[in-house]
Structure 1
Amino acid sequence: MRLRNKPWAIKLVNEHPESVLQNPDPAKKINWDKRFADFSQPLEIEVGSGKGRFITTLAAQHPERNFVAIELQTTAAGIILRTKLEKHLDNLQILRGDAADINRFFAPNSTNIIYLNFSDPWPKTRHEKRRLTYKAFLSKYQEVLTPNGHIEFKTDNSGLFAYSVKSMNNFGMHFDFVSVDLHHEKVEITQKNIETEYEQKFAAKGNPIYALYASFKAK
């Protein structure tokens, strides 16, 4: 969903280049070790962070990890940044750029987890290549994930979920966890579920939340 432009958010982003990378040149590798207080910590990435409730909560809960929020909209990046500054999240960086360049923004084998939360379903067939679980994106995720890394995916859209399961299966991925009703099934996941803004909205309406963890490592 496109957010309405907020001048204060745009201004805030422009005032904090140490926290927000804006449209970095994909041809130039980003020196992430200079952007984190402790770059030796494990790195995790959320693609399409929206207003950032998920990634900022996760960063606050886990100061022993580093996080990058990839978000294309400047207003959304500003909302994330405001929370980052309020909570003093030195382990969180914001990248305002296109996720299609993720393998250019990050070195091979550099991240442990990629989070895909309530991504745009792009329901029309002609837009299949824009879906964040399309095979071209999966190939890029595989490049930047460590050998033991994985993808964590959540959506309320049954069509996108079915498509993603098929796409990942065709790519040869292993499903470590699958749920078709995350909030009501008795399931075990590796960490406490953090709800996004969209997740709270959809769950309140009674919509089932679909989730999966998938890895590229052969089992």
Structure 2
Amino acid sequence: MELNFKNKVVLITGAAGGIGSTLVRDFKSHGAIVYGTDISPSSDSNYIQGDLTNDQFLSDLVNGILEKEGRIDVLVNNAGIYLRTPAKDITRSEWERLMDINLTSVFFLTQLVIDKMISQKSGAIVSLASVAGKVGGLIAGAHYAASKAAVECLTKSLAKLSAAHGVRVNAVAPGIIDTSMQDGVPAEQMEFLMKNIPMGRLGTAAEVADAIVFLASDASSYITGQTISINGGTYM
């Protein structure tokens, strides 16, 4: 199966992280014009540092790409934060911060981009959900799990809105992936998690990126409103 993104304009959030940087590399390898954004600095070409919870930044980001390229063909909502705070200890400010990054920014960035995609009669959007959004947070915080469940439902709503206009909206729900998100997980908790992965290993950023690139490509042209699980069998 050949994945061709030649001259396609791709916007990836969370582009400085493990999955995000892998996505940038993969889309470029398939010929895409890639724009990445993150709160952290990066020396990558077409990289725009900024805060996705800032409405003015979102508007400037999208309008800047459209002014330069005239279109956005793919949006990957990859940015997010992962917190493990026990439910009884979650404060209102922590709840709101996590939701602003993991859910609210996803909606408002997608709102800006999908309007252009609908007008150009084509486009693909892929957002990052999580296995925690399907089963609840055992080690992941309740707020994290709730935000990812909401992303999955938002994906369905936007897919229904845009399907007739040639725009597809999907999500992926990774399980335990070997990235910096797992830094600081106590050894006993990691041992518990590993025992619940039938394949017996952590997933890789490349395995998540492969699924996202597929969902963004013409090879998945009849797939929309779906959440693809990538978890080694943890959730079936």
Query: What is the TM-score of this pair, normalised by structure 1?
Result: 0.48
Larger strand fraction of residues: 1
